[in-house]
Amino acid sequence: MGRQRNNPREDSWRDKLYPTFLEVADVNSNFEKRWAQLQKDCSQELNTAGSDVSSEAWNEIMARFMKGKAELESWFEEKLADINNRHTPIPYNPVAYSYFTLDQPISDAEGLRQYLHFHRHGESLQVSEVKDAQGNIEAWDKIARTERDFRVLAFGKGPVKPFPEDTVHRQLLQSVICYERERLTAEELAECFDKHCACGKENHEPDSLRKMRDRFEAELKASMKPS
């Protein structure tokens, strides 16, 4: 058991976040739940088909999965575009997405590479590329792994190995960091997660979230300083 929460005013976390957060968090939670169900349904179909499933049946299952994935992504993008149109200009903290190359337009493919690399290795692709150019072999290995993950997803060759940190928690934490007016305490962060997290847990542990935030912010800030 974690320590007991000590928040003098329930829901005080709402006052410390821009209103945009509440809409983004709801959309994100809905997306995560639907994405988890989509993957579960696909896995169950493959398990039911068995190891001797024909290539035709396997292709049909994967085609349904990819169709559902495309529809979900389209829904997600439309929801975010609507929020952006209604709230622009939206105040936000650019540190939350410092691993993306935000100073110039990037393709969807390059955006996916940058996302995969940061969440796999805890540093931005730009930082790794600078290190690689200096002859750092570990940096090259990281870049090679990202390219492999990218191709697995781009060509529908199956899921990639899960990231070291819980993706559902990180996605929500990223939104918190992005739309904070004032920094949430650990207790307030836990209450916010209880309300908006798609993981299904009713009571999040403040200390665990604080430690996760400390790690995440250190990685984000390091991503802003290629050297």
Length of the chain: 227
What is the Cα–Cα distance from 52 to 31, expressed in whole angstroms? 33
Which structural domain range is residue 136 located in?
15-222
Domain membership flag for residue 173: yes
The verdict on residue 25 lying in a domain is yes
- Into how many domains does the chain fold? 1
Question: Does residue 166 belong to any structural domain of this protein?
Answer: yes
- Per the domain annotation, does 113 fall within a domain? yes
153 occurs within a structural domain? yes
pLDDT tens digits for range 39-56: 899 889 988 988 888 989
Evaluate whether residue 3 is within a structural domain: no
Distance CA 116, CA 109 (A): 11
What is the model's pTM? 0.82
Residues in CB range of 92: below 8 A, 6 or more apart = 18, 178, 179
Q: Which pLDDT does position 223 carry in this prediction?
A: 84
Rounded to 10 degrees, what is the CA torsion of 168, 9, 207, 21? 30
152 is a domain residue: yes
Q: Taking Cα atoms as reference points, which of 18, 192, 184, 38 lies closest to residue 92?
A: 18
pLDDT one-digit tens code per residue, 205-226: 999 999 999 999 999 988 875 5
Residue 2 in domain: no
